Every structure is written in C-alpha cells, then in structure tokens.
Amino acid sequence: MIETTSARADTRSRIVEVAARLLQEEGPAAVTTRGVAEGAGVQAPTIYRLFGDKDGLLDAVAEHVMAAFVSAKSEIVKAASAADVDPLEDLRAGWETQIDFGVDNPALFRLLSDPARVVPSPAAQSGRKVLESRVHRVAVTGRLRVSEARAVDLIQAAGIGTIQSLLATVPDQRDPGLAGAMYEAVLRQIITDAPERSDDGSKATAVAFRAIAHRLDVLSESERRLLAEWLDRVINAG
C-alpha cells in the first residue's frame, strides 16, 4: 500500500510538472490531455483518474507553480530579515520580483491570477503572508501611514494591474518605467516619507505601535485586543 501510494504521488507530480512546462513554454493551448499524457509517459485515463478533468489539472498546476514561487520568496524574506536589509529595499525587491515573474511568464500569471483558483489556494495565501511580512517590517519602523492590511491590498492590486497592462502591450512598445512609476505612486500612498502628504505623524506612530501590540506580554490577551481595537480606530479614521 505504501509503495502504491508513493507511485501514485510520483505519477501525479510528473504530470503536473509536464503540464506546467507546456503551459510556460507553449501556452494554454498546449496543455491538452493527450499532450500532457504523452509528455508524462502515462495514459490519458490516468489524468482523469488523478485530476478529474483539465480544470482539475490546471488547478494542480497553479498550486504547484505558486507554491514553488512562494517558497523562493519566503527564503528571500528570511535572508533579508537576518541580514537586517532595509525593509523598504526588501519591499521594492519583492515588487520587482513579482513584476518580472508575471511579465516573463504570461500564461502562468493569468492562471495564477484567476480569482477562482487564488481564493482557495493555500500557496496563494502563503504568498500573501510573504507580502504581509514585508509590509509588517516597514510598519515596525514607523514609516507606514496606513494600516498594514490596506498597504498589502494596494501593493497587490497595483502589481497585478501593472503586469496586466504590460502584458496587454506589444513588447517593443512597453513603457520600461511603468512598473517603477507605479511602485512610487503606491509608496506615496502608504509611506510617511512623501513630503507632499506629510502629517503630524500620529497615524504612522499608531501603525508602528499596532505592529508590535501583540508582543506586549505585560498586558493580558483581552487588553491587547482592546489596544489593537483602539489603534485600528486611529489608523482607519479619516
């Protein structure tokens, strides 16, 4: 039974890897049951037995690719934190990596950005947590002017929109400065350093305090929750 289960897992993995390669190199049209079966050295019924149908196979491909990408990003974040890399530099590096991946892998990006696949995906949720950790590091420094959740949403939305815009443009007509300009526009919305949007600093202070509130062991759990609620009210005011 153990050997059978292991063989099944190996076969499934091989099929997913072949499908992911076909999708990346030749596009969605190449991901046919027949083509994948031939590339993986299996019979077509095996694919139906393991994945149900082509959509089930594509779901597995999306999860596989997303998990690999997220794992690589997680290692980068850990290294940046250990090396005490400036949080803003780390955030920019994450943005650039995301944009490059999407533009270089259009078929995979469209598959991975499908809400029907992203919402229930454990890898997609892990990917968001990587971005959340990057934003959290910025918040702790006192440089975030909005809540961490709003900053994550803005960065994520801007990144997806930028990639879609670039992919919708003929390669030799793409604006090479678009991604950088969009990133700077997002920073002006979320970072306190933007001179034209400066305030008295109270919101940034609240955001920074909110980022470490859960560590205040001198308070009880209920007190920490209450403190977090008060700080959220300050952060989201206006």
pLDDT of residue 200: 53
Locate tokens 């046919």: which residue?
Answer: 32
Backbone dihedral angles phi then psi of residue 144, each to the nearest 5 degrees: -95, 130
pLDDT of residue 236: 81
pLDDT at 194 over 60: no
Which of these, 149, 133, 147, 151, lies nearest to 204 by C-alpha position?
147
Q: Where are the domains positioned within the chain?
A: 1-52, 66-198
| pTM reported for the whole predicted model | 0.73
DSSP states of 130-186:
HHHHHHHHHHHTT-B-S-HHHHHHHHHHHHHHHHHHHHTS-GGGS-TTHHHHHHHHH
For residue 191, the cross-strand partners are: 144
pLDDT of residue 195: 39
Three-state secondary-structure class, residue 68:
helix
| Angle (nearest 5°) at CA 139 between 137 and 86 | 45
Class of domain 1-52: mainly alpha
Backbone dihedral angles phi then psi of residue 191, each to the nearest 5 degrees: -105, 140
Categorize the per-residue pLDDT at 196 as very low, low, confident or very high, splitting at 50, 70 and 90: very low
